[in-house]
Structure formats: structure tokens, C-alpha cells
């Protein structure tokens, strides 16, 4: 004799119920609540595993991410972003020099 399988009742799935619960908590407590519990979880993880744990997962994740980016975009991508970065730094240096010269001129004029 086989046991009959229960029929699924119409209603919410587990996923839908979870989403509904999450939205209710979000409305009731706001985003600060999630920041607070996230911080508590991070502190508990830090206490349980220590600094070396974060170093290990950072190295693993960084290596994987770097390899994925390299495979996805290739060497030309790095050349392009390097050029953009260099141009941005150059522009910022020029802005700093101009601001310093303007400040010096304003100081000299005020004297």
C-alpha cells in the first residue's frame, strides 16, 4: 500500500512568505535595523574567526575577481582604464596648482 501524497494547498510559497516578512520588517524598523544587525553579525564573525579569516577570504575573492575581469575584458581594458586614471590625476594636479596660485594671489592682494 502506498501513502497518498498530500495535495498542495493554494497560497503563498515559502519564498513569497519570506519576501512578505522581509518587507514587513523593513517597514516596521527601517534600514537602520539592517545596518545594526549586519554590524552585530560582522563583529561576531570577527570575534569567532579573527583577522586572518578576512585576509584569507579577501585574497581568494580578489584573485577570482581579477581573473574574471581579465578574462572578460582583456589587456586593452587595463590600458584604457590606466590612461583614464592618469589623465584624471594630471587634471587634479593642475587644479591643485591653480588653486594654490589663486590663494597666493588673493593673499598677496590682501596684504
d(CA 111, CA 109): 6
Give residue 9's pLDDT.
65
79 vs 70: CA distance, rounded Å: 12
Determine the pLDDT at residue 7: 66
Sequential pLDDT tens for the chain (111 residues): 556 666 666 788 999 999 999 899 989 999 889 899 999 998 999 999 988 888 888 777 777 778 888 899 998 999 999 999 999 999 999 999 999 999 999 988 887
pLDDT of residue 11: 84
Residue with cell 560582522: 42
CA atoms within 13 A on the CB side of 15: 0
Judge if pTM exceeds 0.85. Answer: no
Contact 72, 64 (CB under 8 A): no
Amino acid at each position: 500500500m502506498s501513502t497518498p501524497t498530500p495535495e498542495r494547498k493554494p497560497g503563498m510559497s515559502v519564498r513569497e512568505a519570506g519576501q512578505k516578512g522581509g518587507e514587513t520588517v523593513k517597514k516596521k524598523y527601517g534600514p537602520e535595523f539592517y545596518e545594526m544587525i549586519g554590524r552585530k553579525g560582522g563583529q561576531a564573525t570577527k570575534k569567532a574567526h579573527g583577522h586572518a579569516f578576512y585576509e584569507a577570504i579577501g585574497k581568494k575573492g580578489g584573485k577570482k575577481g581579477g581573473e574574471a575581469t581579465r578574462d572578460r575584458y582583456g589587456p586593452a581594458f587595463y590600458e584604457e582604464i590606466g590612461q583614464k586614471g592618469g589623465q584624471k590625476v594630471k587634471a587634479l594636479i593642475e587644479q591643485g596648482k591653480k588653486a594654490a596660485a589663486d590663494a597666493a594671489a588673493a593673499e598677496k592682494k590682501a596684504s
